[in-house]
Each structure stands twice: as structure tokens, then as C-alpha cells.
Amino acid sequence: MDSDSSSDEDDEEINEDAEPILHLQKVAHEGSINRIRSMNQKPEICATWGDTGHVQVWDFSSFIASLEDPGTVTHKDNGIIHNHVPLKVFSGHKDEGYAIDWSPNVTGRLVSGDCNKCIHLWEPTSSDWSVDAKPFVGHSASVEDLQWNPTEENMFASCSVDGTIAIWDIRIGRNPCYAPVKVHNSDVNVISWNSLAGSLIASGCDDGSISVHDIRAIESGEPGKSLVAHFAYHKHPITSVEWSPYEASTLAVSSADNQLTIWDLSLERDAEEEAEFKAKMKEQANAPRDLPPQLLFVHQGQKDLKELHWHPQIPGMIISTAADGFNVLMPSNIDATIPSAGASI
């Protein structure tokens, strides 16, 4: 063996054993951050909901640029908290909140909802944002989440502690297009509007259940026929739901029961595969005996899961955040019936 190849192998071994290096930039924020969202068209622009009752918009382009240059940030810089002036501070909400979403169709358009049942529309101007002082009102309790329609630029959805989902059109006033639809018997924490099947909205509830509704039934005046699917697998509140941007029938869910699950609504019960699965599970202590056939994948090991997102460029990859850090996982070899293990980082 020549010396060059031996040296290359040594370098590979060193690289494999080396600890990953994480550089970060910290920016001071007044009060705790309830939720943060980046603009679809300009990811360096972020909006934050603070427990102070203020919604702020930030330009983090300089910090992102420094992280992209490996020679700019060192380990000692990781502890520095930078003072940075936000582009916009809105103090018109009467209470703190969690609901906030950037429009995927109109650059800079934003909606924010608070715990006082009010939703405000942000319209971009040449150098700022104009926030409508008159709120959208239709829920009887706190607005927990907001989602713009993925294709219709003037429509968005909201969910609330009152157990309902409402559909809004900013062109026709400050009331919902239709009476808010009761979708759960407890708080609705999160919603996700399907970007590939635009009539479907998924919701996650405080009782751990997940529902999928077809808004075409709501639009036709038959809200009682809108339910497409309902799953009660999780035992604690749902903290995040998101449709896959690659498969219209696939949904990812995180829960306070420390589990992240992936579902495929296109699957139906297969008696033969289900019997095979149950036979395998009998060998495991405390194994669940009746899992929904739509449940593709279960990821465990994180504590107090908060949020998940599908990777925008890598199909099948998910990033999840929790109280003990974040995981990057990419489920592989998923059988249509049997949950499999995935890789986490």
C-alpha cells in the first residue's frame, strides 16, 4: 500500500470520529419568543411573536451571511448575543399570541393572531408594513394557528381554543367566509393546509387527536360531511402538523407524548399484512396491538417535541425541534403497514 492511500484512509478515520462543529449567531429579543416564522420568498426576513404582546419583523441577512462564511464565526463568537433593531414592531394586539403565517403567494403579506381572539393583516409597503388596525374576528376563544391558502392569495384559515377552524377571505370583510366549523371537542392547537391537494386541511388537538377536513364540503354548505380522516393515536396534545410538500397524502405530526409520527391517508387496511405485523409485535413487551394502517413511521427519543418541518429541498427529510435539541431524520424502507426506525442526528 502506498503512503498516499494510507494517508487518505487516516484522514477519513479522523473525519468520521471528529465531533460536528456547530456555529450560531444569537440576537437579543425582548421577552420570550412564542413562535417564529421566516418569509417564504425571503427566508432572511423573520417574524416573531413575543410574550410581551408584540409582533416583530427582523432582517437576519447579515447574520446568515456570516454563518455561510466559515472563516467569519469562531467558537468564542457562539456565546455573543447581538443587539439588533427589528424592521417593524406591532403593538396593536391586546394580548400575546402564537398564530402567525407569511403568505406563500404575496411577498411580505402576513397575518398574526392573538389569545384575545383577534387576527391582524399585514400588507407590505415600499419600505415597511401597514397593519390593519381593524382585526378579523370570528372565534370565541384564543386563535392558536394561521395558514394561508397555498394557491388562493386572499384566503387563509385559522384554528382556535374554541375547537373550530375558520376560513377567511380578506376581500370580503373581517368575518369568516362561513361559520367556523367544529372539528374537535377540545383546543385546536395547529393546522396545515395541503399545498398539493388544496381542499384538505389537517388539524391537531389538545386531546392528541388529528383530523383532516375537506373545505369543499364547507363551501357547499355541508360542514358535517367535511371530515376525511380522524386518528386518536397520540395520548397528549399535538404540537405540530405539516403536510409533505412531495406527497399529497402524507402528513407528519409531533406530540407532547414525545413521538413524531408520519401518516399516509391513501392507505387502507390490509388484513394479511396486519396479521403479520401483529404476529411480530407479540414478541415485544407492551407493544401496541392495534395501530392504524395509515401510520407509517414513529420517531421517539426527543423530549417535549415542539415543531417539525419537511426539508424544502430533500424529499422525505424532516427536522424536529424539542426541549432537548433538534433532530434531523429521514425515514427509510417504510413498509405500508409496519412502522420502522429512522435515523436521527
* pLDDT 10s digits, 99-147: 999 999 999 999 999 999 999 999 999 989 999 999 999 999 999 999 9
pLDDT of res. 277: 54
* Cα Rg of the chain, angstroms: 22
At 292, the pLDDT band (50, 70, 90 cuts) reads confident
Residue 208 has pLDDT above 50, yes or no: yes
Closest CA to 20 of 326, 332, 309: 326
Residue 195 has pLDDT above 70, yes or no: yes
Give 33-58 pLDDT, tens digit per residue: 999 999 999 999 999 999 999 999 99
Q: What percent of the chain has pLDDT over 90?
A: 73
Question: Dihedral of CA 285/286/292/294: which sign?
Answer: negative
- Find the helix or strand (DSSP H, E) in which 271 lies: helix 271-281
At 23, the pLDDT band (50, 70, 90 cuts) reads confident
Contacts (Cβ under 8 Å, ≥6 apart) of 245: 195, 196, 310, 312
pLDDT of res. 333: 45
Report which residue type is found at 195: S
Supply the DSSP symbol for 265.
T
Contacts (Cβ under 8 Å, ≥6 apart) of 17: none
C-alpha cell of residue 58: 427582523
Give 146-166 pLDDT, tens digit per residue: 999 999 999 999 999 999 999
C-alpha cell of residue 337: 403497514
d(CA 134, CA 152): 22
pLDDT of res. 341: 39
Question: Dihedral of CA 296/299/227/236: which sign?
Answer: positive
CB 65, CB 111: distance < 8 Å: no
pLDDT of res. 279: 63
Closest CA to 146 of 107, 183, 117: 117
Mean pLDDT of the chain: 87
CB 293, CB 336: distance < 8 Å: yes
Report which residue type is found at 44: E
C-alpha cell of residue 160: 382556535
d(CA 87, CA 129): 9
Give 67-109 pLDDT, tens digit per residue: 888 677 666 667 789 999 999 999 999 999 999 999 999 999 9
At 59, the pLDDT band (50, 70, 90 cuts) reads very high
User: 276 or 1: whose pLDDT is higher?
Assistant: 276
pLDDT of res. 339: 37
d(CA 160, CA 168): 14
SS3 68: helix
d(CA 233, CA 210): 8
The pTM score is 0.84
Residue 272 has pLDDT above 90, yes or no: no
User: 69 or 31: whose pLDDT is higher?
Assistant: 31
User: 284 or 341: whose pLDDT is higher?
Assistant: 284
CB 44, CB 58: distance < 8 Å: no
Give 209-237 pLDDT, tens digit per residue: 999 999 999 999 999 999 999 999 999 99
User: 343 or 292: whose pLDDT is higher?
Assistant: 292
pLDDT of res. 345: 34
